[in-house]
Structure 1
């Protein structure tokens, strides 16, 4: 904490706050003995961008025409952050806000050890910054600038508190440039640590396996979480009843058993083919499970998971003594198993094996401890950020504890970071596949290994990366030659999955704008995998074979075949084989809401579209050729629902035997 020479900072109230609730917070800055001159600046930041965006005065006129108290607010613009000044001088401030990431290395790592500069170490990562630029005159020592964040005079609900519990959060920080020199020093009273606590039990959630076989008993699971789909402040121990919605499934006579934070009702038996669900009732409300497809002859199971989860050791910062996420590896796995009811999780902390990261051993051990074959699968893994070569998550088939090691880098042997990483995977004693993600930020697709780069994240809480054009789920920049479609046009053969990447430690939690960064404004996604059994080896092998797809978090059932071959297949035919010229595509979609459209994409163009107008679809389409093609085509399925949820199948590639040259792409 700094001394008072640069003024003092107070925050009221200082918590605790309830996650996802609304609040009004008053920041009071009192000018210190160094004063605060015209041209100076006061800056205050929130712990992260999960807190409500500070909306400040938007001038009615061009700012260069008005100054000081003559500036008035545009009544068409929302405002929730206001100020007043207590001064005998004519000093005033212009309030503005921004999102910014403070990087200690820019100013030098030793800078945060200098008196008054400690704030650099605890103001890391993306945050909202409220800025007050001094104009008109100088403030004198003892003058006050009072900023109301969540002013209910203009916004009746105040501002939202971050929608997850954390104790303590990263702090509120107040720094000041007293003379306009650009030297930002911390005010006394800063930083201000706060606690955010969970809400009461409020939301009932329930999950049923997505694909069932007639006569094969299954288990339905349910829990009651808080409003933000995190653990409530106290576990729900009240009444919970289960009921069928039709005669396709029978419930047992016994009660559900307690499984940690959830209830599990086993012995649920499907008796008729079709689509079914179960309702779970508690005093907090009624929840219906995801739809389940009941088959008379079920050949394989459909499992749900997150291949991109992060714990407290993600992107570890030695300056802060914490990482860019929350929760221990054990807490993360417990949530996935008992609250979001995932079947598998890969804990992929960024740069976790590095010698500087204290969590590599604990992360690996948790994957071993929580692995329960046929109930819950955990994968050893980590994430490697490579700048323009993109980011990749490494997912291991084996799980043991190895010591920390240096992450491979570009060298004389490896011209780029990506070359070094892929060689590391090829030469490892473990079997490793990688998943490219968030690749429409920056990515050079020129480095790709089809035996290692088996899957790509087509969607996560950062948005969708399938295409540049027909992509309603991407609110960011869309640069050329970085989409999933572009990768396919190069002849690459990755499967599609979706993931969370929410930097929070709650895999499977899928709510809009529920994460620490404003750029993560989409719901977390899920990976769906068709596998014969729920074991680490079977799920990994299915991912390697690309028998998988991705959704925006909804458990949409998707089946896609070409001439009987399932998603992820590479199909080759002899030149005389009729199936090379006549391709029968079949799809089954069981939605969680009305299905707006089902698209069959071929070579990056729309081949066929169906608009079912209901929550299920059966699609059959024949793609015929006058003559046998000489290049390899690719097809995949894309689904959009009325509620905004979507799903993407892995592609199927088909062409003449021995041919890998891709057909001309129709764009991206």
Structure 2
């Protein structure tokens, strides 16, 4: 229980105590170090049997402290100036959401007096530990929230607690992004930014960047970043002189960085719709995220260069004041033609009651029907709650609203579906890749399109790196084909399923079925022709066309491969629910010949990747949450050499002769968990176009959709065209 009172901060400090941190300075995101949090007892002291708690927000990926091994990473210790004995434990569920990461320190064998101190050392190096790794993403004021139960009554008082800013680290790479479509002479833009190793925009970047404009006008040949740029620069008034495909390249020679922009396609005249990119899913510190909602929308617009965004806070934390602030920021930052911000929230019911559904409105306002008031003190509007998803359907019936079922902390229960409200489902977020969810919706006969989002909790919508916590992968984004960049047009595009999602890359895709665009309903008497055009951000490995959940065609039909490069990729998730993460830390060895080179494949953050490599072995750390990670080995070995693969999940030995015959897929249980051994695909180019015609027209209604896979692991899922035999209508 948290004690509520009307005491001033000075009175709390005097009676209950206060805490400070050493060093009291800005923390560099992801740095390893030592921090001392010192609690000073107030006039009440702490009785024998009392407790103090030192908690931080559970979205944080600050390395979890451990009290058992002084030589291991993240070792922590506690001490006191008083005569008492202390016992400390760290756990995830020891305080109130969103402050659930908590060190609990029991005081016993005696009492503490006023002025006595308790010190928690995070990253105690006295026994050989390298220290503690700090949170990997930026925050204006990171707080260690300290509370004290001075009397042993399970009544806690929160005392003045230390706060420190977390700032970006040294530059690690460059990013170039831009719009996807333009016409000759029309002004567009190109963005360039530096990121640190954890994906934070590098505010201290001062590099000199050379720009190869690839024929575009309006870009400087060289640009020097200044302090006011804070590592991010967007160049406006860029034009393409003629039709074609443009890819801008940038280079920082001094730091050894280079990057290529997503493709910009210049067409002669605009069609009825053009592509816009956005992130519809995330939340800020008003609920369980990081930094305020005002910063959330600014980041999406100014640092991730999204065209549109939504903010989806957990409903059971949204007070009336927070709801008003979410609406105010969405409406204030929404600017037609420049940036679209939607008003919305997340209905966060438990899975048996319906599971996570994002709710959006096309205008400036809309009703808030929470799943519960569990963290809201004011219960005066509790009768407006919708405890079951069908209650929400009824409450929103006839209203202009959009619901997007998704897999978050709670996965949406597809037992229930409202086709008027739910026109799309979310396939991927930082929580993981959930193609099983997409397929379940199609198997149930739901006519839905596909989106991807980040579900970002770290203040980085649209550029959501996973860090090193519960999130497994880089966040997704959605491309919509809309008439213009307005709320009305983006809304119409999503409601009519003219959209697709990617795993974060701006892969541009155009798909028609029977001449109709993605999301359409097609009535025909002839087998449909599926036409696919892809402009990739990396060489394309393959494109699958599916009817329902069945692959009916793969382009190319024979995938070209490197003969001396072997890719071993592992993927999947343990369960559907929150603790779905699978840890694949492991090793590969070869018994003959040597490993000439080893490279990582699709690792998602700096906490993953190859740890060691020699002529005979490679080790790595890796987690998956539905996605794939892996390694690529260049071998100098005879055909009868044996590769041995070992992880806590699965062990397997294979000869190179077996892998040369074709991909070897080993099932590993769980949800789509598997390991694939294969010769590395070479890719078929970044820009491809092909058609495929069905050999017959199947009875009833069938969704035809496309999945794109790049050799870097990037993916896209294109909303289906629903084809029905006209004679059956």
Query: What TM-score, normalized by structure 2, do the two folds share?
Result: 0.67
Offset at residue 564 of structure 1 (A): 2.9
Change over 3 Å in CA distance of 1:554–1:525 after alignment to 2 = same
Give the alignment's Cα RMSD to 1 decimal: 4.4
SS in 1 for 2:435: coil
Query: Which residue pairs with 1:471 in the alignment?
Result: none
Return the match for 1:616 from 650, 669, 686: 686
SS in 2 for 1:541: helix
Offset at residue 530 of structure 1 (A): 1.5
Offset at residue 556 of structure 1 (A): 1.8
Offset at residue 528 of structure 1 (A): 0.8
Note if 1:173 corresponds to 2:146. Answer: yes
Q: Distance in 2 between matches of 1:342 and 1:443?
A: 26
Return the match for 1:98 from 75, 84, 91: 91
Change over 3 Å in CA distance of 1:438–1:600 after alignment to 2 = same
8 Å CA contact 1:502–1:520 kept in 2: the answer is: no
Return the match for 1:547 from 494, 498, 521: 498
Query: Which residue pairs with 2:188 in the alignment?
Result: 218
Q: Distance in 2 between matches of 1:510 and 1:351?
A: 22
Matches within 5 A, 1:218-367: 218-223=188-193, 242-244=211-213, 246-247=214-215, 249-251=216-218, 262-274=233-245, 276-279=247-250, 285-295=257-267, 299=271, 300-313=273-286, 315=287, 324-329=289-294, 331-351=295-315, 356-367=319-330
8 Å CA contact 1:212–1:270 kept in 2: the answer is: no
Change over 3 Å in CA distance of 1:161–1:283 after alignment to 2 = same
SS in 1 for 2:321: coil
* Residues 536-594 of structure 1: per-residue CA shift (max 9 Å, x gap): 22221111111111122221223333233322222222xxx232xxx433333333334
Offset at residue 220 of structure 1 (A): 1.8
Return the match for 2:64 from 49, 54, 79: 54
Q: Distance in 2 between matches of 1:443 and 1:207?
A: 33
Offset at residue 305 of structure 1 (A): 0.6
Matches within 5 A, 1:193-592: 193-199=162-168, 202=171, 204-213=174-183, 216-223=186-193, 242-244=211-213, 246-247=214-215, 249-251=216-218, 262-274=233-245, 276-279=247-250, 285-295=257-267, 299=271, 300-313=273-286, 315=287, 324-329=289-294, 331-351=295-315, 356-387=319-350, 388-397=353-362, 399-400=363-364, 417-428=388-399, 431-438=400-407, 441-467=410-436, 483-513=437-467, 518-573=469-524, 577-579=525-527, 583-592=528-537
Q: Distance in 1 between matches of 2:409 and 2:511?
A: 26
Q: Distance in 2 between matches of 1:414 and 1:365?
A: 22
8 Å CA contact 1:41–1:176 kept in 2: the answer is: yes
8 Å CA contact 1:175–1:184 kept in 2: the answer is: no
Q: Distance in 2 between matches of 1:30 and 1:332?
A: 36
Q: Distance in 1 between matches of 2:391 and 2:341?
A: 26
Change over 3 Å in CA distance of 1:393–1:243 after alignment to 2 = same
Note if 1:44 corresponds to 2:54. Answer: yes
Q: Distance in 2 between matches of 1:232 and 1:358?
A: 33
Matches within 5 A, 1:621-632: 622=692, 624-625=694-695, 628-632=697-701
Query: Which residue pairs with 1:110 in the alignment?
Result: none
Offset at residue 222 of structure 1 (A): 3.2
Offset at residue 194 of structure 1 (A): 0.6
Q: Which runs of 5+ in 1 are unaligned?
A: 59-71, 104-123, 316-322, 468-482, 661-668
Change over 3 Å in CA distance of 1:366–1:283 after alignment to 2 = farther
8 Å CA contact 2:449–2:719 kept in 1: the answer is: yes
Q: Distance in 2 between matches of 1:90 and 1:393?
A: 50
Return the match for 1:158 from 132, 135, 144: 132
* Residues 198-246 of structure 1: per-residue CA shift (max 9 Å, x gap): 3378465432212344565432233456665556667x788665322x4
8 Å CA contact 1:584–1:620 kept in 2: the answer is: no
Q: Distance in 2 between matches of 1:88 and 1:3?
A: 19
Change over 3 Å in CA distance of 1:41–1:11 after alignment to 2 = same
Query: Which residue pairs with 1:639 in the alignment?
Result: 708
8 Å CA contact 2:136–2:467 kept in 1: the answer is: no
Offset at residue 529 of structure 1 (A): 0.8
8 Å CA contact 1:408–1:420 kept in 2: the answer is: no
Change over 3 Å in CA distance of 1:278–1:250 after alignment to 2 = farther
* Residues 615-661 of structure 1: per-residue CA shift (max 9 Å, x gap): 526364646456x422322232223444443221112222223869x
SS in 1 for 2:190: strand
Q: Distance in 1 between matches of 2:385 and 2:293?
A: 35
8 Å CA contact 2:179–2:264 kept in 1: the answer is: yes
* Residues 462-515 of structure 1: per-residue CA shift (max 9 Å, x gap): 222221xxxxxxxxxxxxxxx22111111101111111221344321221227x
Offset at residue 438 of structure 1 (A): 2.0
Offset at residue 88 of structure 1 (A): 11
* Residues 441-464 of structure 1: per-residue CA shift (max 9 Å, x gap): 343323322122111111112222
8 Å CA contact 2:143–2:164 kept in 1: the answer is: no
Query: Which residue pairs with 1:121 in the alignment?
Result: none
Give the strand-richer structure, 1 or 2. 2
Note if 1:599 corresponds to 2:544. Answer: yes
Change over 3 Å in CA distance of 1:545–1:624 after alignment to 2 = same
SS in 2 for 1:334: helix
Change over 3 Å in CA distance of 1:101–1:375 after alignment to 2 = farther
* Residues 122-180 of structure 1: per-residue CA shift (max 9 Å, x gap): xx31543335678xx9466589875431234545363123511222x34332556987x
Change over 3 Å in CA distance of 1:129–1:178 after alignment to 2 = same
8 Å CA contact 1:204–1:225 kept in 2: the answer is: yes
What is the number of residues matched between the two proteins?
572
8 Å CA contact 2:21–2:162 kept in 1: the answer is: no
Query: What TM-score, normalized by structure 1, do the two folds share?
Result: 0.72
Bigger Cα displacement from structure 2, 547-556 vs 209-218: 209-218
Q: Distance in 2 between matches of 1:172 and 1:163?
A: 18
Offset at residue 283 of structure 1 (A): 7.2
Query: Which residue pairs with 1:120 in the alignment?
Result: none
8 Å CA contact 1:23–1:157 kept in 2: the answer is: yes
SS in 2 for 1:166: strand
Query: Which residue pairs with 2:665 in the alignment?
Result: none
Q: Distance in 2 between matches of 1:328 and 1:463?
A: 24
